[in-house]
Amino acid sequence: MKTVVYTVIFLFISFLSLPTVVGLLDKDDIDLSVVYNLSEEEEVHKVFNLKDAIKTSKQIFSIGFQMPTSKKIVSENHIQYDSILEEIFSPPPDLL
């Protein structure tokens, strides 16, 4: 198990230090943008249209909201439940 952890830590640290090491070894010929762009492969760059965003936001927030109505508290339901605090008693801690 320790070897797996050490291997994962080594790979993580080597991935983080790769651009610095490559940049120090050869400053002229290496294109480091490939390393930085690996994480952005899944992102789709599309044009943002403000009018469409406003239309969709109006559709999302057009859900009706109803204020809750006030109801009487029935005392029968309140009496059915006993207070648990009376059953649980823990004395205060002993002072030194």
- pLDDT tens for the chain, 96 residues long, are 899 999 999 999 988 888 787 777 766 666 666 656 555 555 555 666 666 666 665 555 555 666 677 777 666 666 666 666 667 777 777 877
Is position 9 within any domain? yes
- Predicted pLDDT at 80: 62
Residue 8 falls inside a structural domain: yes
Residue 42 inside a domain? The answer is: yes
Predicted pLDDT at 12: 93
In a domain, 92, yes or no: no
73: in domain:
no
The pLDDT value given to residue 74: 63
Where in the sequence is the domain holding 24, given as residue range(s)?
A: 1-61
Say if 33 falls within a structural domain. Answer: yes
Per-residue pLDDT at 24: 76
Length of the chain: 96
Has residue 57 been placed in a domain?
yes
Q: What is the pLDDT of residue 21?
A: 79
> Is this model's pTM higher than 0.85 or not?
no
Structural domains in the chain (count): 1
Residue 11 lies in a domain: yes
Residues 21-34 as b or e (16 or more Cβ within 10 Å = b): eeeeeeeeeeeeee
